[in-house]
Structure 1
């Protein structure tokens, strides 16, 4: 029980430092002091700092979580319902990114070029890509590069959410207004419909 508490303290310390001081202040000694733990526990529980940050990210990065959250649905979905599960996954990404402050901070730090923890990026890429490949295997893509279409939608979600955090006006649209987000969701679904109509699903 003591072990679990210490692990949780270290993981929570990462969130505390990011919230109060930003990703640039993340370090072994800083985390240990904030957690009130000996820094040797970071190596014992997580192997190294990268391992601790990756464990933290599993709670705060959408696509690291997405594989476990959606794989059962994707494996059992019928071809006729592929577009609906695609909508569900991308709308979940939108809601998660809008609501999870830690995920926002992680993406912003990564986009700034400051992210040194490659394990986070690698795990996100691995999990997200596996999920997408499962969806593609279910569909007859007729040679269409679905990955590129989905990539554009994923990037749109991340960019619109992050860019409107401080400046809600984007291309003449006021994203401080809930109605704008409702229209954005509807438009996102329209693009998914267009994609699946291209492959007659």
Structure 2
């Protein structure tokens, strides 16, 4: 009886190993293809997201894109949604802030915007994704934008009541701040020329922008007489 049970268990173990091998190989292949999308975007831009380019970058047969993802669009969507640039970083920060919503104030908003500026400056793929989002209508990028809005909405629901009846449109003012970060970084990284005599590729000018962000947020709170 004992030998029979042992034989059955050994057979089950062999079956699991046989099954696990292809599953692990599929997962590795999918991971390589997803990572290759990011490298193509960084090196050549989103217009170069073709089957051959992605396959060459991954070192795999391009047929595997259709085998595991069904289409290039599905592969690119998987990459973008997995690496939801704002979601991963900002949601973590906002989640921490929301644990004590009564304490959210100007310093926290400054940290968030400084974080966005820092990520935009350092992440070349993020720069290309934002450039793509601005320049082309794309359902996947719309999904990312909508998710980003939902994250931001959690924060606005906390801070907006602080500015009720103050005459300060905190949404509009922060929209200008964030849009300014996007544009100034893209202008500096893609064009390389000055903007209003400022070059944020230079550390001293980047520090000026960081200070301006802080000053603007402080001004919003002072204008609204919000003591946070």
CA deviations over 1:140-197 (Å, ceiling 9, x no partner) = 2305532222211111101111111242422122333211111210110111122233
More displaced 10-residue stretch of structure 1: 97-106 or 142-151: 142-151
2:171 counterpart (147, 153, 166):
147
Contact 1:60–1:103 at 8 Å: present in 2 too?
A: no
Root-mean-square deviation (CA), in Å?
Answer: 2.6
Q: Partners in 2 of 1:38 and 1:90 — Cα distance? A: 42
Does residue 192 (structure 1) correspond to residue 217 (structure 2)? The answer is: yes
Match of 1:170 in 2: 195
Contact 1:13 1:31 in 2 (8 A): yes
User: Who wins on radius of gyration, i.e. which is larger?
Assistant: 2
Question: Unaligned 5+ residue runs, structure 1?
Answer: none
| Structure 2 CA distance for partners of 1:78 and 1:64, relative to 1, 3 Å | closer
**CA displacement 1:82-110 (0-9 Å, x = unmatched):** 32221121111100000001111222233
Name the CA distance, whole Å, in 2 between partners of 1:78 and 1:171.
37
- TM-score norm. by structure 1 comes to 0.82
Is contact 1:87-1:192 (8 Å) kept? yes
- Identify the match of residue 62 of structure 1 among 81, 85, 94: 85
Which of 132, 141, 159 is the equivalent residue of 1:120? 141
Segments of structure 2 that go 5 or more residues without pairing to the other structure are 1-23
2:5 corresponds in structure 1 to none
TM-score w.r.t. the length of structure 2 is 0.74
The structure with higher relative contact order (CA 8 Å, sep 6+) is 1
- Corresponding residue for residue 138 of structure 1: 158
